[in-house]
Amino acid sequence: MNQTFDAPTLIAVKRDGHRLTDGAIDWLIESYTAGHLADEQMSALLMAIFLRGMDAHETARWTAAMIASGERMDFGDLRRDGRPVPTVDKHSTGGVGDKITLPLVAVVAACGAAVPQASGRGLGHTGGTLDKLESIAGFDAALSTARLREQLTDVGAAIFAAGALAPADAKLYALRDITATVESLPLIASSVMSKKLAEGAAALVLDVKVGSGAFMKSPAQARELADMMVELGAAHGVPTRALLTDMNTPLGATVGNAIEVAEALEVLAGGGPADVVELTLTLAAEMLALAGLDRRDPAATLADGTAMDRFTAMITAQGGDLAVPLPVAACSETVTAPGGGTMGEIDAMAVGMTAWRLGAGRARPGEGVQAGAGVRIHRRPGDPVRAGEALFTLYTDTPERFGPACAELDGGYRILGAADTPVVPRPLIIAGDPGMKA
Ligand code: URA
Protein backbone atom coordinates (compact mmCIF):
# COMPACT_ATOMS: atom_id res chain seq x y z
CA MET A 1 0.00 0.00 0.00
CA ASN A 2 1.23 3.49 -0.86
CA GLN A 3 2.36 5.12 2.41
CA THR A 4 2.66 8.66 1.04
CA PHE A 5 -0.97 9.47 1.83
CA ASP A 6 -2.37 10.72 5.09
CA ALA A 7 -6.00 11.13 6.08
CA PRO A 8 -6.04 14.80 7.23
CA THR A 9 -4.55 15.95 3.89
CA LEU A 10 -7.05 13.90 1.85
CA ILE A 11 -9.99 15.09 3.96
CA ALA A 12 -8.86 18.69 3.33
CA VAL A 13 -8.59 18.00 -0.43
CA LYS A 14 -12.26 17.00 -0.55
CA ARG A 15 -13.35 19.63 2.01
CA ASP A 16 -11.90 22.30 -0.31
CA GLY A 17 -13.77 20.89 -3.32
CA HIS A 18 -10.91 19.19 -5.17
CA ARG A 19 -10.72 15.74 -6.76
CA LEU A 20 -9.30 12.70 -5.00
CA THR A 21 -6.74 10.84 -7.11
CA ASP A 22 -7.07 7.13 -7.94
CA GLY A 23 -4.22 6.29 -5.57
CA ALA A 24 -5.77 8.33 -2.77
CA ILE A 25 -9.15 6.60 -3.18
CA ASP A 26 -7.57 3.12 -3.19
CA TRP A 27 -5.57 4.03 -0.08
CA LEU A 28 -8.62 5.41 1.75
CA ILE A 29 -10.82 2.36 1.06
CA GLU A 30 -8.07 -0.17 1.77
CA SER A 31 -7.00 1.58 4.98
CA TYR A 32 -10.55 1.95 6.27
CA THR A 33 -11.48 -1.68 5.49
CA ALA A 34 -8.31 -2.88 7.24
CA GLY A 35 -9.09 -0.76 10.31
CA HIS A 36 -6.11 1.59 9.82
CA LEU A 37 -8.23 4.68 9.33
CA ALA A 38 -10.29 5.92 12.28
CA ASP A 39 -14.09 6.20 12.05
CA GLU A 40 -13.70 9.91 12.92
CA GLN A 41 -11.50 10.45 9.87
CA MET A 42 -13.75 8.51 7.51
CA SER A 43 -16.79 10.34 8.96
CA ALA A 44 -15.19 13.70 8.13
CA LEU A 45 -14.32 12.52 4.63
CA LEU A 46 -17.86 11.19 4.05
CA MET A 47 -19.31 14.54 5.10
CA ALA A 48 -16.91 16.33 2.75
CA ILE A 49 -18.02 14.00 -0.08
CA PHE A 50 -21.66 14.55 0.90
CA LEU A 51 -21.21 18.34 0.63
CA ARG A 52 -18.76 18.52 -2.31
CA GLY A 53 -19.71 15.42 -4.30
CA MET A 54 -17.49 13.18 -6.43
CA ASP A 55 -17.22 13.35 -10.22
CA ALA A 56 -17.89 10.34 -12.47
CA HIS A 57 -14.25 9.23 -12.46
CA GLU A 58 -13.90 9.45 -8.67
CA THR A 59 -17.20 7.57 -8.22
CA ALA A 60 -16.06 4.81 -10.59
CA ARG A 61 -12.74 4.47 -8.74
CA TRP A 62 -14.45 4.52 -5.32
CA THR A 63 -16.77 1.72 -6.54
CA ALA A 64 -13.87 -0.32 -7.96
CA ALA A 65 -11.96 0.03 -4.68
CA MET A 66 -15.00 -1.19 -2.74
CA ILE A 67 -15.39 -4.19 -5.06
CA ALA A 68 -11.68 -4.98 -4.59
CA SER A 69 -12.14 -4.98 -0.79
CA GLY A 70 -13.71 -8.47 -1.03
CA GLU A 71 -14.52 -11.41 -3.23
CA ARG A 72 -15.86 -10.90 -6.79
CA MET A 73 -17.91 -13.86 -8.00
CA ASP A 74 -18.23 -14.96 -11.61
CA PHE A 75 -20.99 -17.19 -12.95
CA GLY A 76 -20.06 -16.80 -16.62
CA ASP A 77 -19.43 -20.56 -16.91
CA LEU A 78 -22.77 -21.67 -15.42
CA ARG A 79 -24.25 -24.57 -17.43
CA ARG A 80 -27.48 -26.58 -17.27
CA ASP A 81 -27.82 -29.74 -19.40
CA GLY A 82 -24.64 -28.69 -21.19
CA ARG A 83 -26.02 -25.27 -22.18
CA PRO A 84 -24.92 -21.88 -20.81
CA VAL A 85 -27.35 -20.30 -18.34
CA PRO A 86 -27.59 -16.49 -18.51
CA THR A 87 -27.40 -14.75 -15.16
CA VAL A 88 -29.22 -11.52 -14.34
CA ASP A 89 -30.21 -9.73 -11.15
CA LYS A 90 -32.20 -6.70 -10.01
CA HIS A 91 -31.68 -4.25 -7.20
CA SER A 92 -34.17 -1.88 -5.61
CA THR A 93 -32.96 1.27 -3.89
CA GLY A 94 -35.35 0.48 -1.05
CA GLY A 95 -39.01 1.11 -0.41
CA VAL A 96 -41.99 0.33 1.81
CA GLY A 97 -43.85 -2.94 1.20
CA ASP A 98 -41.28 -3.82 -1.46
CA LYS A 99 -41.50 -7.63 -1.55
CA ILE A 100 -40.98 -7.72 -5.33
CA THR A 101 -37.70 -9.68 -5.14
CA LEU A 102 -39.56 -12.75 -3.83
CA PRO A 103 -41.89 -13.41 -6.77
CA LEU A 104 -39.47 -11.82 -9.27
CA VAL A 105 -36.52 -14.19 -8.78
CA ALA A 106 -38.90 -17.14 -9.14
CA VAL A 107 -40.53 -15.77 -12.31
CA VAL A 108 -37.17 -15.08 -13.96
CA ALA A 109 -35.81 -18.50 -12.92
CA ALA A 110 -38.94 -20.17 -14.32
CA CYS A 111 -38.21 -18.41 -17.64
CA GLY A 112 -34.74 -20.00 -17.79
CA ALA A 113 -32.28 -17.45 -16.34
CA ALA A 114 -30.33 -17.77 -13.08
CA VAL A 115 -30.66 -15.03 -10.48
CA PRO A 116 -27.87 -14.66 -7.88
CA GLN A 117 -29.49 -12.13 -5.56
CA ALA A 118 -27.25 -10.79 -2.78
CA SER A 119 -29.58 -9.07 -0.32
CA GLY A 120 -29.43 -7.09 2.85
CA ARG A 121 -31.31 -6.67 6.08
CA GLY A 122 -33.51 -3.63 6.63
CA LEU A 123 -32.41 -0.52 8.46
CA GLY A 124 -34.84 2.21 9.48
CA HIS A 125 -38.18 2.44 7.67
CA THR A 126 -37.30 0.37 4.57
CA GLY A 127 -37.61 -3.39 4.85
CA GLY A 128 -34.89 -5.92 4.08
CA THR A 129 -35.47 -8.96 1.88
CA LEU A 130 -33.50 -11.22 4.24
CA ASP A 131 -35.64 -10.16 7.23
CA LYS A 132 -38.75 -11.12 5.28
CA LEU A 133 -37.35 -14.50 4.15
CA GLU A 134 -36.05 -15.34 7.62
CA SER A 135 -39.67 -15.41 8.82
CA ILE A 136 -39.90 -18.73 6.92
CA ALA A 137 -39.03 -21.62 9.29
CA GLY A 138 -35.47 -22.86 8.69
CA PHE A 139 -34.52 -20.41 5.91
CA ASP A 140 -30.74 -19.89 5.78
CA ALA A 141 -29.31 -16.85 3.96
CA ALA A 142 -25.66 -17.85 4.46
CA LEU A 143 -24.57 -19.70 1.31
CA SER A 144 -21.01 -20.68 0.42
CA THR A 145 -19.94 -19.88 -3.15
CA ALA A 146 -20.01 -23.61 -3.95
CA ARG A 147 -23.58 -24.03 -2.67
CA LEU A 148 -24.65 -20.87 -4.44
CA ARG A 149 -23.29 -22.14 -7.75
CA GLU A 150 -25.01 -25.50 -7.24
CA GLN A 151 -28.33 -23.82 -6.40
CA LEU A 152 -28.13 -21.48 -9.39
CA THR A 153 -27.57 -24.49 -11.64
CA ASP A 154 -30.30 -26.69 -10.14
CA VAL A 155 -32.96 -24.15 -9.14
CA GLY A 156 -32.06 -20.95 -11.02
CA ALA A 157 -32.38 -18.60 -8.04
CA ALA A 158 -30.72 -17.89 -4.71
CA ILE A 159 -31.24 -15.04 -2.25
CA PHE A 160 -28.27 -14.80 0.09
CA ALA A 161 -26.49 -12.49 2.53
CA ALA A 162 -23.91 -10.24 0.83
CA GLY A 163 -21.31 -11.52 3.37
CA ALA A 164 -17.85 -11.33 1.82
CA LEU A 165 -19.00 -9.14 -1.10
CA ALA A 166 -17.69 -5.55 -0.88
CA PRO A 167 -16.95 -5.61 2.87
CA ALA A 168 -15.86 -1.95 2.61
CA ASP A 169 -19.49 -1.08 1.88
CA ALA A 170 -20.78 -2.84 5.00
CA LYS A 171 -18.45 -0.68 7.14
CA LEU A 172 -19.06 2.51 5.21
CA TYR A 173 -22.85 2.05 5.13
CA ALA A 174 -22.99 1.58 8.92
CA LEU A 175 -20.90 4.75 9.37
CA ARG A 176 -23.02 6.74 6.87
CA ASP A 177 -26.13 5.66 8.70
CA ILE A 178 -24.99 7.34 11.94
CA THR A 179 -23.35 10.41 10.38
CA ALA A 180 -26.23 11.73 8.22
CA THR A 181 -24.32 10.94 5.01
CA VAL A 182 -26.56 8.31 3.43
CA GLU A 183 -28.35 10.60 0.94
CA SER A 184 -25.36 11.34 -1.29
CA LEU A 185 -25.74 10.27 -4.93
CA PRO A 186 -22.14 9.08 -5.50
CA LEU A 187 -22.12 7.29 -2.14
CA ILE A 188 -25.45 5.54 -2.80
CA ALA A 189 -24.46 4.65 -6.38
CA SER A 190 -21.10 3.21 -5.34
CA SER A 191 -22.63 1.36 -2.38
CA VAL A 192 -25.31 -0.35 -4.48
CA MET A 193 -23.12 -1.07 -7.48
CA SER A 194 -20.11 -2.39 -5.54
CA LYS A 195 -22.26 -5.16 -4.03
CA LYS A 196 -24.11 -5.89 -7.25
CA LEU A 197 -21.01 -5.97 -9.45
CA ALA A 198 -19.17 -8.19 -6.94
CA GLU A 199 -22.09 -10.62 -6.99
CA GLY A 200 -21.25 -11.79 -10.51
CA ALA A 201 -24.55 -11.48 -12.41
CA ALA A 202 -23.90 -10.83 -16.11
CA ALA A 203 -26.62 -8.15 -16.33
CA LEU A 204 -28.51 -5.96 -13.91
CA VAL A 205 -31.86 -4.18 -13.67
CA LEU A 206 -32.25 -1.36 -11.16
CA ASP A 207 -35.53 -0.33 -9.58
CA VAL A 208 -34.88 3.25 -8.50
CA LYS A 209 -37.63 4.33 -6.13
CA VAL A 210 -38.98 7.88 -6.16
CA GLY A 211 -41.23 9.51 -3.58
CA SER A 212 -41.93 10.04 0.10
CA GLY A 213 -40.90 6.50 1.10
CA ALA A 214 -37.68 6.49 -0.98
CA PHE A 215 -34.21 7.97 -0.59
CA MET A 216 -34.84 9.98 -3.76
CA LYS A 217 -37.79 12.33 -3.30
CA SER A 218 -37.87 13.78 -6.83
CA PRO A 219 -37.78 12.14 -10.28
CA ALA A 220 -34.87 14.43 -11.27
CA GLN A 221 -32.71 13.17 -8.37
CA ALA A 222 -33.72 9.57 -9.07
CA ARG A 223 -32.86 9.96 -12.77
CA GLU A 224 -29.40 11.28 -11.84
CA LEU A 225 -28.83 8.33 -9.50
CA ALA A 226 -30.10 5.88 -12.14
CA ASP A 227 -27.78 7.33 -14.82
CA MET A 228 -24.82 7.16 -12.43
CA MET A 229 -25.47 3.49 -11.66
CA VAL A 230 -26.06 2.56 -15.31
CA GLU A 231 -22.69 4.18 -16.15
CA LEU A 232 -20.97 2.24 -13.34
CA GLY A 233 -22.44 -1.02 -14.62
CA ALA A 234 -21.26 -0.24 -18.15
CA ALA A 235 -17.77 0.68 -16.92
CA HIS A 236 -17.52 -2.79 -15.37
CA GLY A 237 -18.86 -4.59 -18.46
CA VAL A 238 -22.24 -5.40 -16.92
CA PRO A 239 -25.19 -4.26 -19.08
CA THR A 240 -27.45 -2.32 -16.71
CA ARG A 241 -30.94 -0.86 -17.12
CA ALA A 242 -32.89 1.27 -14.68
CA LEU A 243 -36.58 1.92 -14.08
CA LEU A 244 -37.88 4.79 -11.96
CA THR A 245 -40.89 3.62 -9.95
CA ASP A 246 -43.29 5.33 -7.57
CA MET A 247 -42.72 5.03 -3.83
CA ASN A 248 -45.15 7.64 -2.51
CA THR A 249 -47.61 4.87 -1.52
CA PRO A 250 -46.57 1.49 -0.08
CA LEU A 251 -46.46 -1.40 -2.55
CA GLY A 252 -49.26 -3.91 -2.07
CA ALA A 253 -51.42 -4.28 1.02
CA THR A 254 -48.79 -5.40 3.53
CA VAL A 255 -45.70 -3.89 5.14
CA GLY A 256 -43.62 -6.05 7.48
CA ASN A 257 -41.89 -9.42 7.30
CA ALA A 258 -44.06 -12.59 7.41
CA ILE A 259 -47.11 -10.68 6.13
CA GLU A 260 -45.11 -9.58 3.07
CA VAL A 261 -44.01 -13.19 2.44
CA ALA A 262 -47.67 -14.24 2.57
CA GLU A 263 -48.51 -11.57 -0.02
CA ALA A 264 -45.63 -12.67 -2.26
CA LEU A 265 -47.01 -16.23 -2.08
CA GLU A 266 -50.44 -14.90 -3.20
CA VAL A 267 -48.74 -13.33 -6.24
CA LEU A 268 -46.92 -16.58 -6.98
CA ALA A 269 -50.26 -18.40 -6.76
CA GLY A 270 -51.63 -16.16 -9.53
CA GLY A 271 -53.38 -13.55 -7.34
CA GLY A 272 -52.11 -10.73 -5.13
CA PRO A 273 -52.33 -6.94 -5.40
CA ALA A 274 -52.29 -5.48 -8.92
CA ASP A 275 -49.34 -3.12 -8.24
CA VAL A 276 -47.11 -5.94 -6.94
CA VAL A 277 -47.97 -8.07 -9.98
CA GLU A 278 -47.40 -5.15 -12.40
CA LEU A 279 -43.97 -4.28 -11.00
CA THR A 280 -42.91 -7.93 -10.81
CA LEU A 281 -43.81 -8.52 -14.47
CA THR A 282 -42.28 -5.23 -15.67
CA LEU A 283 -38.97 -5.91 -13.95
CA ALA A 284 -39.04 -9.54 -15.12
CA ALA A 285 -39.48 -8.40 -18.73
CA GLU A 286 -36.45 -6.08 -18.41
CA MET A 287 -34.34 -8.84 -16.86
CA LEU A 288 -35.34 -11.39 -19.49
CA ALA A 289 -34.55 -8.92 -22.28
CA LEU A 290 -31.05 -8.42 -20.86
CA ALA A 291 -30.62 -12.18 -20.48
CA GLY A 292 -31.63 -12.74 -24.13
CA LEU A 293 -34.79 -14.62 -23.07
CA ASP A 294 -37.39 -12.08 -24.11
CA ARG A 295 -39.49 -14.63 -25.98
CA ARG A 296 -40.61 -16.09 -22.62
CA ASP A 297 -43.85 -14.78 -21.06
CA PRO A 298 -43.27 -13.99 -17.37
CA ALA A 299 -47.04 -13.72 -16.69
CA ALA A 300 -47.52 -17.32 -17.81
CA THR A 301 -45.22 -18.54 -15.02
CA LEU A 302 -47.55 -17.04 -12.40
CA ALA A 303 -50.63 -18.52 -14.09
CA ASP A 304 -49.23 -22.04 -14.62
CA GLY A 305 -47.50 -22.47 -11.24
CA THR A 306 -43.95 -22.77 -12.58
CA ALA A 307 -42.83 -19.62 -10.71
CA MET A 308 -44.32 -21.01 -7.48
CA ASP A 309 -42.40 -24.27 -8.11
CA ARG A 310 -39.14 -22.31 -8.51
CA PHE A 311 -39.81 -20.33 -5.32
CA THR A 312 -40.56 -23.48 -3.31
CA ALA A 313 -37.44 -25.15 -4.70
CA MET A 314 -35.29 -22.14 -3.76
CA ILE A 315 -36.67 -21.95 -0.21
CA THR A 316 -36.26 -25.72 0.25
CA ALA A 317 -32.68 -25.61 -1.07
CA GLN A 318 -31.93 -23.00 1.58
CA GLY A 319 -33.41 -25.06 4.43
CA GLY A 320 -36.80 -23.32 4.57
CA ASP A 321 -40.11 -25.10 5.06
CA LEU A 322 -43.16 -23.42 3.54
CA ALA A 323 -45.43 -26.08 5.07
CA VAL A 324 -44.78 -24.54 8.50
CA PRO A 325 -47.30 -21.69 9.02
CA LEU A 326 -45.73 -18.24 8.86
CA PRO A 327 -45.38 -16.48 12.24
CA VAL A 328 -48.32 -14.37 13.38
CA ALA A 329 -47.88 -11.48 15.83
CA ALA A 330 -49.24 -11.98 19.34
CA CYS A 331 -51.30 -8.76 19.28
CA SER A 332 -53.19 -6.73 16.70
CA GLU A 333 -55.07 -3.46 16.67
CA THR A 334 -57.35 -2.16 13.93
CA VAL A 335 -57.60 1.49 12.90
CA THR A 336 -61.15 2.21 11.70
CA ALA A 337 -62.62 5.07 9.67
CA PRO A 338 -64.15 7.81 11.85
CA GLY A 339 -66.44 8.79 8.96
CA GLY A 340 -67.26 7.88 5.38
CA GLY A 341 -65.68 9.16 2.17
CA THR A 342 -62.82 8.11 -0.06
CA MET A 343 -59.34 7.03 1.01
CA GLY A 344 -56.83 9.75 0.07
CA GLU A 345 -53.07 9.38 -0.44
CA ILE A 346 -51.34 6.95 1.96
CA ASP A 347 -47.85 8.19 2.76
CA ALA A 348 -45.27 5.42 2.30
CA MET A 349 -42.86 6.95 4.82
CA ALA A 350 -45.56 7.12 7.53
CA VAL A 351 -46.54 3.47 6.98
CA GLY A 352 -42.87 2.39 6.87
CA MET A 353 -42.21 4.17 10.15
CA THR A 354 -45.36 2.60 11.66
CA ALA A 355 -44.14 -0.90 10.75
CA TRP A 356 -40.72 -0.04 12.15
CA ARG A 357 -42.23 1.18 15.46
CA LEU A 358 -44.21 -2.09 15.64
CA GLY A 359 -40.92 -4.03 15.55
CA ALA A 360 -40.71 -5.05 11.88
CA GLY A 361 -37.43 -3.15 11.41
CA ARG A 362 -34.33 -2.36 13.43
CA ALA A 363 -32.80 0.86 14.73
CA ARG A 364 -29.21 -0.48 14.73
CA PRO A 365 -27.37 -3.07 12.65
CA GLY A 366 -27.44 -6.48 14.34
CA GLU A 367 -30.70 -5.97 16.25
CA GLY A 368 -33.41 -8.61 15.91
CA VAL A 369 -36.74 -7.94 14.19
CA GLN A 370 -40.22 -9.33 14.92
CA ALA A 371 -41.27 -11.74 12.17
CA GLY A 372 -44.99 -11.11 12.72
CA ALA A 373 -44.90 -7.31 13.09
CA GLY A 374 -46.26 -4.99 10.41
CA VAL A 375 -49.21 -3.20 8.88
CA ARG A 376 -52.04 -4.45 6.68
CA ILE A 377 -53.66 -1.80 4.49
CA HIS A 378 -57.36 -2.47 3.95
CA ARG A 379 -58.26 0.55 1.81
CA ARG A 380 -56.08 1.83 -1.05
CA PRO A 381 -56.04 5.46 -2.26
CA GLY A 382 -59.25 6.12 -4.16
CA ASP A 383 -61.23 3.28 -2.46
CA PRO A 384 -64.64 4.18 -0.98
CA VAL A 385 -64.70 4.10 2.84
CA ARG A 386 -67.69 3.76 5.19
CA ALA A 387 -67.71 4.97 8.80
CA GLY A 388 -66.38 2.28 11.16
CA GLU A 389 -64.69 0.21 8.42
CA ALA A 390 -61.19 -1.17 8.99
CA LEU A 391 -58.51 0.97 7.31
CA PHE A 392 -55.32 -0.58 8.73
CA THR A 393 -54.47 -3.49 11.02
CA LEU A 394 -51.30 -3.14 13.09
CA TYR A 395 -49.43 -6.25 14.32
CA THR A 396 -46.78 -6.64 17.02
CA ASP A 397 -45.65 -8.99 19.78
CA THR A 398 -45.15 -6.02 22.12
CA PRO A 399 -48.43 -4.08 22.62
CA GLU A 400 -46.68 -1.09 24.21
CA ARG A 401 -45.57 -0.30 20.64
CA PHE A 402 -49.15 0.44 19.48
CA GLY A 403 -49.13 4.00 20.88
CA PRO A 404 -45.95 5.22 19.08
CA ALA A 405 -46.94 3.27 15.95
CA CYS A 406 -50.41 4.87 15.77
CA ALA A 407 -48.75 8.29 16.24
CA GLU A 408 -46.61 7.60 13.13
CA LEU A 409 -49.64 6.50 11.11
CA ASP A 410 -51.76 9.51 12.14
CA GLY A 411 -51.39 12.16 9.49
CA GLY A 412 -50.06 9.60 7.01
CA TYR A 413 -53.50 9.22 5.40
CA ARG A 414 -56.78 11.14 5.11
CA ILE A 415 -60.39 10.25 4.35
CA LEU A 416 -61.55 12.62 1.64
CA GLY A 417 -65.02 14.16 1.67
CA ALA A 418 -67.14 15.22 -1.31
CA ALA A 419 -65.61 18.74 -1.25
CA ASP A 420 -61.97 17.48 -1.38
CA THR A 421 -59.94 17.14 -4.56
CA PRO A 422 -60.13 13.45 -5.54
CA VAL A 423 -56.98 11.30 -5.60
CA VAL A 424 -55.29 11.28 -9.00
CA PRO A 425 -53.91 7.77 -9.59
CA ARG A 426 -50.11 7.86 -10.06
CA PRO A 427 -48.41 5.63 -12.61
CA LEU A 428 -46.33 2.98 -10.85
CA ILE A 429 -43.67 3.00 -13.57
CA ILE A 430 -42.51 6.62 -13.85
CA ALA A 431 -39.82 6.15 -16.47
CA GLY A 432 -38.14 3.33 -18.30
CA ASP A 433 -34.67 2.41 -19.25
CA PRO A 434 -32.34 5.38 -19.79
CA GLY A 435 -30.30 3.23 -22.14
CA MET A 436 -28.17 0.16 -21.97
CA LYS A 437 -24.59 1.33 -21.81
CA ALA A 438 -22.65 -1.88 -22.32
N1 URA B 1 -28.90 0.89 -0.57
C2 URA B 1 -27.58 0.59 -0.52
O3 URA B 1 -27.17 -0.56 -0.70
N4 URA B 1 -26.71 1.58 -0.29
C5 URA B 1 -27.09 2.86 -0.09
O6 URA B 1 -26.24 3.70 0.10
C7 URA B 1 -28.46 3.16 -0.13
C8 URA B 1 -29.36 2.15 -0.38
Residue with CA nearest ligand 1 atom 7: 188
Element (DSSP H or E) covering residue 151: helix 145-154
Is 195 known to be catalytic? yes
Domain covering 7-68, topology: 1.20.970
* Closest residue by Cα to residue 279 from 383, 287, 361: 287
Best mutation site among 121, 184, 215 for ligand 1 pocket (most ligand atoms within 8 Å of CB) = 215
What is the structure's pLDDT at 295?
A: 85
Phi and psi at 250, nearest 5°, equal: -60, 150
- Nearest CA owner, ligand 1 atom 3: 192
Active-site residue 99, yes or no? no
Sign of CA dihedral 78, 81, 82, 85: negative
Q: How confident is the model at residue 139, as a pLDDT?
A: 98
- CATH number for the segment(s) 331-416: 3.90.1170.30
Handedness of CA 348, 351, 357, 362 (dihedral sign): negative
128 lines ligand 1 (CB under 6 A): no
In contact, 11 and 43? CB cutoff 8 Å: no
Looking at residue 436, what is its pLDDT?
42
- Cα separation, 183 vs 434, in Å, equals 22
pLDDT of residue 121: 79
Query: Of 99, 176, 236, 376, which is the active-site residue?
Result: 176
Write out the DSSP string of 43-58. HHHHHHHHHH---HHH
- Architecture of the domain spanning 79-324: 3-Layer(aba) Sandwich (3.40)
Residues of the chain with CATH 3.90.1170.30: 331-416
Q: How many CA atoms lie within 13 A of 101 on its CB side?
A: 31
The pLDDT of residue 437 is 41
CB 303 within 8 A of CB 102: no
* Ligand 1 centroid to residue 386 C-alpha, Å: 40
Active-site hit among 14, 90, 91, 121:
91
Model pTM score: 0.94
What integer pLDDT is reported at residue 162 of this predicted model? 84
Verify whether residue 169 is a known catalytic residue: yes
Provide the residue-wise pLDDT of the chain in tens; the chain has 438 residues: 545 899 999 999 999 999 999 999 999 999 999 999 999 999 999 999 999 999 999 999 999 999 999 999 999 999 999 999 999 999 999 899 999 999 999 999 999 999 999 987 776 677 789 999 999 999 999 999 999 999 999 999 999 998 889 999 989 988 998 899 988 999 999 999 999 999 999 999 999 999 999 989 999 999 999 999 999 999 999 999 999 999 999 999 999 999 999 999 999 999 999 999 999 999 999 999 999 998 889 999 999 999 999 999 999 999 999 999 999 999 999 999 999 999 999 999 999 999 999 999 987 777 889 999 999 999 999 999 999 999 999 999 999 999 999 999 999 999 999 999 989 988 999 977 644 443
Task: Look up 176 and say whether it is catalytic.
Answer: yes
* Nearest atom in ligand 1 to 188's CA: 6
Handedness of CA 313, 315, 318, 324 (dihedral sign): negative
Q: Is 94 in the pocket of ligand 1 (CB under 6 A)?
A: yes
Residues carrying CATH 3.40.1030.10, the chain = 79-324
